[in-house]
Amino acid sequence: MTQYTGSSLAPTLVRMDLSGTWRAAAADEGLRRRYFQPGFDDGAWAQLDVPGHWRSNAAFAAHDGPVLYRRGFDAPTPAADRRGWLVLDGVFYQGDVWLDGAYLGVTEGYFFPHAFEVSANLRDRAEHLLAVEVACDRQTDRTAKRNLTGVFQHWDCLDPDWNPGGIWRPVRIEETGPVRISRLRVLCAEASADSAVLQCTAVLDAAEAATVQVRTTVGGAAEHVQDTPLASGENTVTWRVTVERPDLWWPHALGDQPLYDVAVEVTVEGELSHRVNRRTGLRQVRMRNWIATVNGERLFLKGSNQGPTRMELAEATADDFERDTLLAKEAGLDLLRVHAHVSRPELYEAADRHGLLLWQDMPLQWGYSRSVRKQAARQARELVDLLGHHPSIAIWCGHNEPVSSGSAPERRSADAPGTPTPARSRLPGRAIAAQQLPTWNKTVLDRSIKRALERSDSTRPVVAHSGVFPHVGSGGTDTHVYFGWYHGNERDFPRFCAAVPRLARFVTEFGAQAVPQNASFMEPERWPALDWETLGRTRALQKDQFDKHVAPAGFPTFDAWRAATQAYQADVVRFHIETLRRLKYRPSGGFAQFAFADSYPAVTWSVLDHLRVPKAGYQALAAACAPVIVVADRPAASYAPGASIALDVHVVSDLRTPIAGGRVTARLTWPGGEHGWAWEGDVPADGCVRIGTIQAVAPEAPGPLQLDLAFEAADVKTTNSYASSITPPRR
């Protein structure tokens, strides 16, 4: 049988949806030899939902697979000039597929569809038996993983015992004419107020040699028709469609989000053979020196990292993705980084509608085996076919934190003693030194992935890997820093940016863990004798780091400790963002805080818990990402009496028009005294301006010291405050 893999296609006719209840059993050698035969008795097998993950069923709750799936169905015989196709939209992670006792082929790759022609099978009989063996092997050597499943099988924000295996997306029988569009890639190559150009590539599978007509319509705005001779089998066809005076798609901070329906039809001798629809937006994204432009407009990207919306991704709903997208917009974010996984279609559709840009990772995280290089490059091409038409996708990224399969960071993961975890746990200086040497993951594997992405899509920026500091032969990529968590003090970050400015160009991970409001899974009634070991292994909690920064031993109650962890996370998030916004375009192009929302009940870096109840960090994120902020150099934690205080004050504006006649006031207060400053002037559009410097002498009396800032113009009001203290030197 011929197998095709490619993007999700809207078929001419769906003959049958095979989703629903299937029969399933754990695989063994005896069953493997017989289970795919139509006459096999599966009456004693468990029932399992498709789409779904097998772990969501009690019968397989602790199973790592493989699992054998079976489903019988009746199907009408296709006409002589029609072709039938079996399409599996998503199998986690590998599948061997049988129909009526005949082997169709193997699938590998969880996030894109796999299709097999079954015309002969459907003509042979009316009653059919579909059997699939699904494997998602546990990755025992996590320095050399083989499954390209990203965070689902190796992450410190998911249950390490979880296995995502299963037929997690729908299964169906499709029917087409003699020519099928087995792949369609639609990319916006150019966009301006005058015209936009769609670059289209299709793979047309022809039952026999023929000349066909390919017709493309873009809403009511443009049409392209061409006659194309085809050989029997696969044929690659490319063309471009120009849309005059288009309605441009913009991120929500810059404008509206008009979308165009693109329809591609193939007709044979005047009869429709197959039609595929895409919904896209017309826009152009560029990035230079880590500063992004959309349709020629510069945009400082304020973002966050988002893992799977739910650990059980098959069970996430369209409402879940709509909610998360709106929560990101409400926090003032322009960007979500889809962190080391590929999500469901509903995420990308919601981002398109709401103007939220996406940094899309390949599902690669940390160390991989040398055997995966060809598969990773193939899946990079599949990623572009699947998602390339979405205007929200601004950046492709090949690999998150490529750890060499032969190296081991100092910190060991909580989920498996002796298992290396990310380089972010190292001190920055040591991490920079360690990355000077080439490794197979970052030098060979990631170069192959980047090349595949660039060849498939020349319209977007491509990042080979995330979190790689400058090394020999490279200027580095985006930066991951964890001041105040894995290394140093959170107050060290501004000095780090000043010392190595290019590491502040684009920072895509920073933050601290915090305990969520919904914390019953922690058994808080046991305080202070929580089961720290279990929480560390299965709920992501990093007790050693909490002991450094917000030690549980210092709090009388669980509630007090939880509040302190949230306050600490809020400070880390706020002050990192304020630092980067003060460096707007000089040199910073933006950031992505780590992380946005939890995938399951856990103690992580996210500012929203698994039920989307906000931590204090969410409010801090929203405040720091407001369109206009007034900020000062952060005061020292304390001053000695008589010490000099000098703090620069800035106003940062993301508004697209200047602010005229703004007024900034500053007030420094302490017990029994205060001092004030005021400045007036204009704030440029999309800029950062230094307003002035607060200069004072610390008062003699010990006690709290607070700086309050306010900015006011005709249509803009914003405030900020900083706490410090006067502490006499110890004798």
What pLDDT is recorded for position 117? 97
3-state SS assignment for residue 420 = strand
Q: How far is CA 588 from CA 45, 290, 408, 705, 727, in A?
A: 57, 7, 31, 31, 35
Q: Which is nearest to 185 in space by CA: 60, 276, 297, 74?
A: 276
Homologous superfamily in CATH for domain 286-532+564-624? Glycosidases (3.20.20.80)
What CA–CA distance (Å, rounded) separates 585 from 258?
A: 28
- Bridge partners of residue 3, in order along the sequence: 116
Dihedral sign for Cα atoms in the order 554, 560, 564, 565:
positive
How would residue 436 be classed by pLDDT, with cut points 50, 70 and 90?
low
Q: Which residues contact 148 (CB under 8 A, 6 or more apart)?
A: 93, 109, 110, 362, 363, 364, 368, 372, 375, 376, 379
Using an 8 Å Cβ cutoff, are 168 and 210 in contact?
A: no
The 10s digit of each residue's pLDDT in 635-677 is 999 999 999 999 999 999 999 999 999 999 999 999 999 999 9
Pick the residue with more confidence: 527 or 487?
Answer: 527
Dihedral sign for Cα atoms in the order 622, 627, 631, 633:
positive
- Bridge partners of residue 276, in order along the sequence: 264
Say what percent of the chain tops pLDDT 90. 89
How would residue 15 be classed by pLDDT, with cut points 50, 70 and 90?
confident
Axis-axis angle for helices 616-624, 558-582 (nearest 10): 10
Q: How far is CA 424 from CA 302, 407, 437, 443, in A?
A: 21, 14, 17, 19
Residue spans of beta strands (DSSP E) within 459-609: 462-463, 479-480, 506-509, 590-593
Whose tokens are 């053979």? That residue is 273
CB atoms within 10 A of CB 459: 17
Same fold, 3-176 and 286-532+564-624: no
CA within 13 Å, CB half, 546: 24
Mean pLDDT (whole number) for 358-371 = 97
What CA–CA distance (Å, rounded) separates 517 from 415?
A: 24
Tokens read off for 92: 């986690």
Instruction: Name the residue type at position 204.
Output: L
Q: Which CATH architecture has domain 3-176?
A: Sandwich (2.60)
Pick the residue with more confidence: 11 or 477?
Answer: 477
What pLDDT is recorded for position 570? 98
Is pLDDT at 421 greater than 70 in this prediction?
A: no
How would residue 407 be classed by pLDDT, with cut points 50, 70 and 90?
very low
Return the CATH fold of 631-726: Immunoglobulin-like (2.60.40)
Q: Which residues contact 549 (CB under 8 A, 6 or more apart)?
A: 484, 485, 512, 568
Whose tokens are 């008062």? That residue is 699
Mean pLDDT (whole number) for 493-520 = 96
Using an 8 Å Cβ cutoff, are 503 and 597 in contact?
A: no
3-state SS assignment for residue 121 = helix
Q: Which is nearest to 439 in space by CA: 364, 340, 366, 339?
A: 366
What pLDDT is recorded for position 425? 52
Tokens read off for 589: 């192009």
What pLDDT is recorded for position 39? 93
Note the CATH number of domain 179-280: 2.60.40.10
Q: Which residues contact 537 (CB under 8 A, 6 or more apart)?
A: 160, 414, 415
Using an 8 Å Cβ cutoff, are 97 and 104 in contact?
A: yes
The 10s digit of each residue's pLDDT in 205-236 is 999 999 999 999 999 889 999 999 999 999 99
Instruction: Name the residue type at position 664.
Output: V
How would residue 403 be classed by pLDDT, with cut points 50, 70 and 90?
confident
What CA–CA distance (Å, rounded) separates 630 from 310?
A: 36
What CA–CA distance (Å, rounded) separates 72 from 129?
A: 4
Is pLDDT at 419 greater than 90 in this prediction?
A: no
Q: Which residues contact 346 (CB under 8 A, 6 or more apart)?
A: 316, 317, 318, 320, 321, 322
What pLDDT is recorded for position 699? 93
CA angle (264, 267, 269) in 5-degree steps: 165
The 10s digit of each residue's pLDDT in 681-698 is 999 999 999 999 999 999
Which one-letter DSSP state was computed for residue 417?
A: T
What pLDDT is recorded for position 418? 34
Q: Which residues contact 266 (CB under 8 A, 6 or more apart)?
A: 177, 179, 181, 204, 212, 213, 214, 272, 273, 274, 275
Global pTM?
Answer: 0.94
What CA–CA distance (Å, rounded) separates 686 from 664?
A: 18
How would residue 471 be classed by pLDDT, with cut points 50, 70 and 90?
low
The 10s digit of each residue's pLDDT in 343-353 is 999 999 999 99
What CA–CA distance (Å, rounded) separates 528 from 562?
A: 12
Pick the residue with more confidence: 426 or 331?
Answer: 331
How would you class 230 by CB atoms within 10 Å of its CB: exposed for 0-12, middle for 13-18, buried for 19 or more? Answer: buried
What CA–CA distance (Å, rounded) separates 530 from 533?
A: 9
Using an 8 Å Cβ cutoff, are 243 and 195 in contact?
A: yes
What CA–CA distance (Å, rounded) separates 510 from 503?
A: 13
What CA–CA distance (Å, rounded) separates 405 from 478?
A: 21
Q: What is the C-alpha end-to-end distance of the chain, expressed in Å?
A: 85
What CA–CA distance (Å, rounded) separates 722 from 38?
A: 72
So where are the chain's domains? Answer: 3-176, 179-280, 286-532+564-624, 631-726
What pLDDT is recorded for position 728? 87
Q: What is the overall mean pLDDT for the chain?
A: 93
The 10s digit of each residue's pLDDT in 24-54 is 999 999 999 999 999 999 999 999 999 999 9
Render the burial of 355-382: b for 16+ CB within 10 Å, e for the rest.
Answer: bbbbbbbbbbbbbbbeebbeebbbbbbb
Whose tokens are 């030690």? That residue is 551
How would residue 438 be classed by pLDDT, with cut points 50, 70 and 90?
confident
The 10s digit of each residue's pLDDT in 578-627 is 999 999 999 999 999 999 999 999 999 999 999 999 999 999 999 999 99
